[in-house]
């Protein structure tokens, strides 16, 4: 049974949600797996730092869909072996055409990073 982080009712709701999410991750992430009390202390410390650093400022937290899509495209590119389109179709639940488009796109981006521009005079 997972232990929960309980906070004073007067603690701001958004900060309480952040603290609870941090606490849960610190206890469940296999790389960390802190005991309840230590995770609670770290979660509250991080949350208090956030409160003191950005408190009073209206902050928009993006969903990160573009970031996730870019990360997935890099994952597909890194998993690509040259002939494993069908494997990638199953793994990423995309069409073969979409997998090919992603591989082509990321290949061009990666190639451009490595190659010097012939028209760059600097």
pLDDT of residue 97: 97
Q: pLDDT tens across 104-122, in order?
A: 999 999 998 888 777 766 6
Domains of the chain: 1-61 (no CATH), 65-114 (1.10.10)
pTM of the model: 0.62
Q: pLDDT tens across 50-105, in order?
A: 999 999 998 888 899 999 999 999 999 999 999 999 999 999 999 999 999 999 99
Angle at 21 between CA 17 and CA 26, to 5 degrees: 150
Q: Is the pLDDT of residue 2 over 70?
A: no
Angle at 17 between CA 34 and CA 37, to 5 degrees: 25
């Amino acid at each position: 049974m997972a232990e929960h982080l309980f906070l004073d009712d007067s603690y701001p709701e958004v900060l309480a949600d952040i603290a609870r999410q941090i606490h849960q991750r610190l206890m469940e992430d296999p790389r960390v797996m802190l005991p309840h009390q230590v995770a609670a202390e770290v979660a509250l410390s991080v949350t208090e730092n956030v409160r003191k650093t950005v408190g009073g400022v209206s902050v928009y937290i993006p969903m990160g869909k573009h970031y996730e899509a870019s990360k997935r495209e890099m994952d597909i590119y890194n998993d690509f072996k040259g002939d494993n389109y069908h494997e990638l179709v199953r793994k990423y639940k995309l069409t073969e055409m979409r997998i090919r488009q992603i591989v082509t796109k990321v290949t061009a981006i990666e190639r451009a990073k490595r190659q010097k521009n012939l028209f760059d005079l600097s």
